[in-house]
Amino acid sequence: MRKRPDPIYHPCAMTPDCEQMVPIDHLMCRPDWALVPSGIKSRVNLTYRRRSADWEAYRDTVRDAKAAVRRARARV
Ligand SMILES: [Zn+2]
């Protein structure tokens, strides 16, 4: 059981629905990321690299990715 997470880890973007810790350069844990459609995945990766120039684009894309995971989970 991990009480104090390593600082290079952060909670999965689906928190509080998910309690996984993921590396800082990953948005979500592997099972949640697998539910994100590939088109949104590539937008996340693109906007993540450009987030210092366009934070809003990244934030909006993350919101889309999280919505997609919620929709995918609701179907299961
Ligand atoms: Zn997760």
**The total number of structural domains that make up the chain:** 1
- Identify the band that residue 69 occupies on the pLDDT scale cut at 50, 70 and 90: very high
CA distances to 7, 17, 46, 58, 69 from 52, in Å: 21, 28, 12, 9, 25
Domain membership of residue 18 as a residue range: 9-75
Question: Residue 4 domain-assigned?
Answer: no
- How many whole angstroms separate alpha carbon 53 and alpha carbon 49? 9
Question: Residue 45 domain-assigned?
Answer: yes
Q: Which helix (H) or strand (E) holds 9?
A: strand 9-11
- Identify the band that residue 65 occupies on the pLDDT scale cut at 50, 70 and 90: very high
Q: What is the mean pLDDT of the chain?
A: 92
CA–centroid distance, 16 to ligand 1, in Å, is 9
pLDDT at residue 5 is higher than 60: no
CA–centroid distance, 54 to ligand 1, in Å, is 25
Q: What's the token pair of residue 36?
A: 């994100």
Question: Residue 16 domain-assigned?
Answer: yes
CA–centroid distance, 65 to ligand 1, in Å, is 12
CA–centroid distance, 19 to ligand 1, in Å, is 7
Cβ neighbours, 10 Å, residue 62: 19
Provide the residues around ligand 1 (an ion) whose CB is within 5 A: 12, 14, 18, 20, 28-29, 32
